[in-house]
Structure 1
Amino acid sequence: MSEREVVQYEVKGPIATIWINRPEVKNCVSPEVLVKLGEYGRKAEADESVRAVVFRGRGNTFCAGADLGQLVGPKLQSTNESLELAQLSAKTYDHFFNMKKPTIAAVEGYAVAGGFELMISCDFALAATTAKIGDFHIRRALFGGAGPIYRLPRYIGLRKAKELMLTGKLLSGVEATEWGLVNECAPPEEFDALIERFCEPLIDKSPFCMWITKMAVNRGMDADTDSLITLETMACNVVHHSEDAKEGVTAFLEKRKPVWKGR
């Protein structure tokens, strides 16, 4: 792993960590960063030994948003270029939201604008108590194109979503937890231990059941009641006929730990 890579990838046991490595600019997202995030996300998803994927930023800052000079500044010569970059961001972050494996945003320092979008695209978010979290686009007369309008109201409700998006206010890690944006927070000196502890109950579950459950919950957010009932019963049927389900029941009856096959 080269220190010069703008995104770094490391695997320790069943956990893959994808690091944004531009601490000199608070890990701002450039086109190169977006491409590498997508590549490493697909790599982690394809690795059967990886059971959870954590996103972090070097230098005690998660991500301070877009590199304005590259993403929305004078280097962009046309509306088409701007649209292509917005679509790349949306596609990349949507993959993390729908990835077969659980994704965790581990936030220290700033998670604003594009960094905020990355955070809310993950299944879970953990934060240091000293983190600074918010949408922030409105402060620069910009608009977030990778998740806020369709994810944020579902997490915290319409009024709170508008409060963040229309004021550009920042929340501490503690406040973000109270708002329901973050699952848990911890002081900076205890943050690594929090990540490890939070991941522990995720990594010993059936990969197949994890994927189907996550997919069903995500799809269910926008479905009507009849469609939800159909989705739930179909997912239940698929999971219950999987090899992992048979192994789970057998292991319970034989009083041993299950050995998952991921199918």
Structure 2
Amino acid sequence: MAVEDDIQLECDGHVARVWLNRPWKRNSVNLAILNRLDEIITEVDNDPELRVLVLRGREGTFCSGFDLDELQSDYVGSTTGWSVAVDSARICDNLYQMKTPTVAVLEGYTTAGGFELMISCDFAIASDDALIGDFHIRRALFGGAGPIYRVPRMIGLRKTKELMLAGKLLTGLEAADWNLINASAPQDELDQVVEDFIANLTDKSPFQMQVTKMTIDQSLDASVQSMMVMERLAVGVTLQSEDAREGVAAFLEKRDPKWTGR
């Protein structure tokens, strides 16, 4: 099966929907799929019509991680394991640094590499009964695509240790309570919750989305003084944009704005 069948891109208006499509393998990924995802990241970020990327798995499972059959046959016990770790981390970081906001939709299993994909997205929404966890430690493996850096910043140090050292699986409800995801919903309401969430992103200025997302992401490691400078620079850049001019004009004229993304 071609990699284009294993990971599919569908564009609908302002929304890019990326589907992992290996349900017989719980939508596990391999390097070919991750490389195609990396290409999609560039395609979406370079398309001015696309304002949100939604990452999801077919047939009720998000992603169970890297394909262990391929990991065992091609990488375990070989120095090639280092290269796949570097490539996987680079691609997850590219996902995290997208200009376009990203939403992971979680059903079934979100574990190991799937967990790393999820935490690389800006937002995550799960079904109440989804199962979410790092899971690497259960196989004496180590996740090298962001969990050590990103998860403590989401849920704190103690909860991160509980999640990762115990190989804990959280339901969607629990993950929302831990602040690991944005929200959970009953399975029969999930699609509508996702669409409502997306609608609150696609109606905003694409330019200002990029500026605000970048500034928030940079704030994690910056000093207070550095962030104050960055905020002032962001204000200056924003006030020069066509979207800011349009946003103010639309408010004064009592009409909906028409964004250009510039």
Same fold (TM over 0.5): yes
Q: Distance in 2 between matches of 1:222 and 1:147?
A: 15
Partner of 2:24: 24
Asked if the contact 2:27/2:64 (under 8 Å) is kept, the reply is yes
Task: Report the alpha carbon displacement of residue 74 of structure 1 after superposing the two structures with TM.
Answer: 3.2
User: Does 2:84 correspond to 1:85?
Assistant: yes
Residues 36-74 of structure 1 deviation map (CA, whole Å, 9 limit, x = unaligned)? 111122212222111111000011000001112223x23
Partner of 2:215: 216
Letter in 1 for 2:222: A
Partner of 2:135: 136
- In the TM superposition, 1:48-87 aligns within 5 A as 48-71=48-71, 73-76=72-75, 79-87=78-86
Partner of 1:183: 182
Q: Distance in 2 between matches of 1:160 and 1:138?
A: 15
Matched position secondary structure for 1:63: coil
Residues 221-260 of structure 1 deviation map (CA, whole Å, 9 limit, x = unaligned)? 0111111111111111111211111111111111111111
Partner of 1:40: 40
User: Does 2:177 correspond to 1:193?
Assistant: no
Percent of aligned positions that are identical: 51
Partner of 1:105: 104
Q: Distance in 1 between matches of 2:191 and 2:233?
A: 38
Matched position secondary structure for 2:250: helix
Residues 126-158 of structure 1 deviation map (CA, whole Å, 9 limit, x = unaligned)? 000110000000000100000101100000001
Asked if the contact 1:31/1:70 (under 8 Å) is kept, the reply is no
Asked if the contact 1:6/1:32 (under 8 Å) is kept, the reply is no
Q: TM-score, normalised by structure 1?
A: 0.96
Partner of 2:166: 167
- How many residue pairs are counted as aligned between the two chains? 261
Task: Report the alpha carbon displacement of residue 12 of structure 1 after superposing the two structures with TM.
Answer: 1.6
Q: Distance in 1 between matches of 2:41 and 2:60?
A: 21
Q: Distance in 2 between matches of 1:93 and 1:130?
A: 25
Structure 2: tracts of 5 or more residues without a match: none
Q: TM-score, normalised by structure 2?
A: 0.96
What is the CA RMSD across the aligned residues, in angstroms?
1.5
Letter in 2 for 1:68: L
Partner of 1:158: 157
Q: Distance in 2 between matches of 1:140 and 1:241?
A: 52
Letter in 2 for 1:234: L
Q: Distance in 2 between matches of 1:226 and 1:153?
A: 23
Q: Distance in 2 between matches of 1:118 and 1:241?
A: 35
